[in-house]
Structure 1
C-alpha cells in the first residue's frame, strides 16, 4: 500500500468512527505515520480526501454490484432458473451478497462514514440512500419481476417483495461490526423462509 492509499485508508478509519469534522489533517497524518505537511503532496486538503474516499468506495460497491449481482445472478436465473433456486445456488448467491454489505471491511466503514455525515451533508445523504437503499431495492425488484414473468415466483408487488427480502439485512447495518453467528443464522433462515413462501413449487 503506497502513501496515498494509506492516507485514504486511515482517513476512512477515522471518519467512520468520529466523523469528518472531528478529524484534522494532523490526525490523519499521525495515523499514516507521516508529517502533516507531507499529506499535501497527495491531496489538496481534508475535503479532497473525503471526496476521494466517496468516489473510490462508491465505485468499489458499484463494481461488486455489476459483476456479482448482475452478471452472476441475473444470467443464472435466465439460463437455468430451476438450478438457481436449488438450495445450493440460492443460499450461496444471497449470502454472498448480504455478507459483502455486512462484513466487508471497506463497505462497513464506508457505510458508517455515510451514516454519520448524511446529517451534515445532503449530497452524502443522497449517496447513502442510493447505494444502500435504492440500488439494492431496484435490483431485487427487477429480479422479482423477471421471476414472476417466468412463473418462478408468485405474482405480488415486486417492490414489496424486495422490501421484505432486504429489510432484515438493512436492520443489521445499524449494529456494530460484530454481526454474530446467531444473526447470520437468522439471516439464512429468513432466506430459506422467503424461498419457501414465494417460490412456486413444481
Structure 2
C-alpha cells in the first residue's frame, strides 16, 4: 500500500502563510521575518525556496491565474453548451466559475488583489489584463456567437460583454472590499443568486421575440 502525503513541504508552508499575511495586511506591510515566524523557520531559510518576497508574490499570482484558467470550459464544451441556449450556458458557466474560485485559498488571494490593486503596479496591470480585458473579450465573442445563431437580438457584442461582466466586477468589490468581514459563508452564497437574477434580466431584454 502506497502511503499518501500528509504534510506540506516548507515551500508550500511559506506559500500558505504568505497568502494569509498578505491578504490580512497587504504585501508591503509583511516582512520576510514575519513570514518565517509564521512558518516556524529561520528568516534565512526562506531564501532557500524563494529569491525574495517579490518572488513569493509572483508565485501566488501565477497560482491564481492557473486556477482561473482552469475554471473555464474548453472551447468545444462551451460551444456545445451554447447550443442548449443562453440561459443554460450562463447558469452552468457561472456555477462552474464560482465553484472553482470558491475556496479559502482563492478567496484570500482575491482579497490580496483587491488590496494591492490600489498601489502595486504589477497587480494593477494583472487586474486590468487578466481580470478585465481578457474576460470582456471572451464574453464579446460569446455574445457574437449567440447573435449569429439568432439566439439573442443583434446588439453590439462588446456592449453586451460590458453589461454582463460589469456586474461581476461589482460583486467582486462588494464582497472582497466593502463586505469582506461580514458574516458570509462564501462568495458563492453571496453571488450565485445575484448573478442568476442579473442574467435573467439581461437575457429577457435581449431575447429574440417569437413572431
The TM tier, using the shorter chain, reads: 0.7 to 0.9
Gaps in structure 1 of 5+ consecutive residues = none
* Paired residues for 1:40-189 under 5 Å: 40-65=47-72, 68=73, 70-77=75-82, 81=83, 83-85=84-86, 87=88, 90-101=90-101, 103-174=102-173, 175=175, 176=180, 178=184, 179=187, 181=189, 184-189=192-197
Per-residue deviation, 1:62? 2.2
Q: Are the structure 2 counterparts of residues 35 and 48 from structure 1 closer, same or farther at C-alpha, using a change threshold of 3 Å?
A: same
Per-residue deviation, 1:166? 1.7
Say whether residues 1:200 and 2:208 are aligned partners: yes
Q: Are the structure 2 counterparts of residues 93 and 54 from structure 1 closer, same or farther at C-alpha, using a change threshold of 3 Å?
A: closer
TM-score of the superposed pair, with normalisation by structure 2: 0.79
Number of residue-to-residue matches in the alignment: 194
Q: Are the structure 2 counterparts of residues 7 and 74 from structure 1 closer, same or farther at C-alpha, using a change threshold of 3 Å?
A: farther
Say whether residues 1:24 and 2:23 are aligned partners: no
User: 1:50-101 CA deviation, whole Å, 9 max, x = no partner?
Assistant: 1222222222222333xx2644323432xxx1x24465x5422223224545
8 A Cα contact 1:20 1:117, kept in partner? yes
Per-residue deviation, 1:5? 1.5
Deviates more, 1:44-53 or 1:174-183: 174-183
TM-score of the superposed pair, with normalisation by structure 1: 0.82
CA RMSD of aligned residues (A): 2.4
Gaps in structure 2 of 5+ consecutive residues = 1-7
Q: Are the structure 2 counterparts of residues 60 and 99 from structure 1 closer, same or farther at C-alpha, using a change threshold of 3 Å?
A: closer
